[in-house]
Structure 1
Amino acid sequence: METDLIYDDSKSATPSNPSQTLVLVGRTGNGKSAVGNSILGRKAFMSKLCSRGVTNTCQSERVVQDDGQIINVIDTPADSIEKEISRCTTIAKNGIHAILLVFSVRDAFRGDKEVLSHLQTIFGSKITNYMIIVFTGGDELEETLEDYLTPQECPPFLNEILELCDNRLVLFDNKTKDNLKKVEQVEKLLALVELVSKQNNSKPYTKEYFNELQVEIKESELTLEKQLAE
């Protein structure tokens, strides 16, 4: 079931356990929804292997951890992402704390080479400060993630993304039945989210920043049009 809720966690979150909002982005078939389900610990997002995305609008779900911390997870559609992704800043009332860019180890090297510039166009160049790379298909990888991503084998576009993200990456096995492994991979991801938060001085990406960016883009376009006309 699709939901499009604006969460106000001010009454439920505490200063020591502030809520965190994670946004999943990536190409159809990379396993975004499955990653979201792994984070939540339940099947909240529709997830199945197919060439056509099953998520057609932003969907928000949350989980309250044992320590009381609230994790909001927003799954985004692969199609019409420009329209839907902007809604994330509205859905995430307290801001976005991390963008999870999802790749599959099956075809990461043949992935969308324009994904970085696409996200930077939508969110601005500073969005890389909030990005974490999540690789799915951990059950299929017969080597370590580090060996898989050797500079010699890794394509330039992926190397660039990893470099801009300070190599913040984690491998997910969304099919594992091992409860310990399930917990460990989510804990590793949340540790990276905490690192991102510290590096950004605990300032999330907000709707206000997004709106300011859109104004700047519009002004730049108008200036260019004026220059061309002259």
Structure 2
Amino acid sequence: MADTNEITMNILLLGKTKSGKSSLGNSLLGSYEFESQFFPYSLTTECRLCRIRIPQFARRMGKELCLKLQVLDTPGSPHSSLTQEEVKYKIKRALSQQFAEGLHMALLVLRADIPLYYKSPTQLFLSIQDLLGPNWIYFTTVIFTHGDQLHEAQIKEDEYIRSAPKTVSSLLEKVHNRYIFRDPLDRTLRGERAILASRLLDYVRQNSYQTLQTV
């Protein structure tokens, strides 16, 4: 890091169409930067990077630290106007252009109210590995959106994890149980940003601030 009083986190958003990637990106940034509305088609057609600096985010060696968040939003798959190969190409190109120094954490966004079904966990793992490379398991966190619906159904997070489909449980085991339930109810964007950024920074610290080289 060029500035020892600044921590940078390069964050990639991945997930199926309508999983809530862009909305999550807005929460991470603490502002409405990515278009996130209900439409019967895929809104995000291009990768887009947004940055924000959060002063006095933490302290180290008695000094205030600034957190620089760089969030890359991506088209989902299946997409209403792009093929799967086109989506993969756009993401790989954006990673090489925007995160030449590497990726700190990929956020795989899953809807908690819609189980993730694949023919086998291997199918999911190979699709992520094809995009990020074999070390993706050390640099991926699962984000469950629509966590408020769990509360409405009076389902606790640990109960959800225990009863989740095999694909989900295998995925969480693969990424060393790095997961976060997103529940934005009764929180401001900045309030949720503080919670999410702190959790992600903990994971990045566990990786000793190393980055995943995807090119």
Residues 22 and 172 of structure 1, relative CA distance in 2, 3 Å threshold:
same
Letter in 2 for 1:148: Y
**Which position in structure 2 is the counterpart of 1:95?**
102
**Cα distance in 1 between the residues matched to 2:21 and 2:176:** 21
Q: Does residue 83 in structure 1 map to residue 89 in structure 2?
A: yes
Q: Look at both structures and tell me which one has the larger radius of gyration over its CA atoms.
A: 1
Residue pair 1:168, 1:192 contacting (<8 A) in 2 also:
no
Q: Given the two structures, how large is their TM-score scaled by the length of structure 1? A: 0.75
Give me the whole-angstrom Cα distance separating, in 2, the residues matched to 1:111 and 1:186.
31
**How do 1:45-124 and structure 2 match up within 5 A?**
45-67=34-56, 68-78=66-76, 79=79, 80-86=86-92, 87-110=94-117, 114-124=123-133
Which residue of structure 1 lines up, in the alignment, with residue 59 of structure 2? none
CA RMSD of aligned residues (A): 2.3
Higher RCO, Cα 8 Å, sep 6+: 2
In structure 1, how many angstroms separate the alpha carbons of the residues matched to 2:208 and 2:8? 15
Q: For residues 165 and 178 of structure 1, what CA distance do their matches in structure 2 show? A: 28
Question: Which is helix-richer, 1 or 2?
Answer: 1
Letter in 2 for 1:145: E
**Contact 2:28 2:197 survives alignment (8 Å):** no
Asked if 2 retains the 8 angstrom alpha-carbon contact of 1:89 and 1:96, the reply is: no
- Does the Cα contact within 8 Å between 2:115 and 2:164 map onto a contact in 1? no
- Residue 182 (structure 1) shift: 5.7
String of CA shifts for 1:155-181, please: whole Å, max 9, x gaps: 11111110011111111134x3433x9
Give the secondary structure class of the aligned counterpart of 1:69: strand
**1:106 and 1:49 mapped to 2: Cα distance?**
17
1:170 aligns with 2:180: yes
Deviation at 1:116, TM superposition (A): 2.6
The verdict on how the C-alpha distance between 1:171 and 1:36 changes in structure 2, with shifts beyond 3 A counting, is same
Q: What does residue 148 of structure 1 align with?
A: 160
Of 38-47 and 77-86, more deviation after overlay is shown by 77-86
Identical residues among aligned pairs (%)? 22
> How many pairs were matched up?
192
Cα distance change, pair 51–147 in 1 and its aligned pair in 2 (3 A):
farther
1:28-39 equivalence runs, <5 A: 28-39=17-28
Distance in 2, matches of 1:39 and 1:173, equals 13
Residue aligning to 2:13: 24
> What is the DSSP-based 3-state SS (H/G/I as helix, E as strand, rest coil) of the residue aligned with 1:19?
strand
Q: Secondary structure at the match of 1:89?
A: helix
Structure 1 alignment gaps of length 5 or more = 1-8, 212-230
How far off its partner does 1:194 sit? 2.6
Deviation of 1:188 (Å)? 4.0
In the superposition, the TM-score normalised over structure 2's length comes to 0.79
Instruction: Report the residue type matching 1:172 in the other structure.
Output: R
Q: 1:18 to 1:94 in 2, by over 3 A?
A: farther
Alignment CA distance shift 1:49-1:144 (3 Å): farther
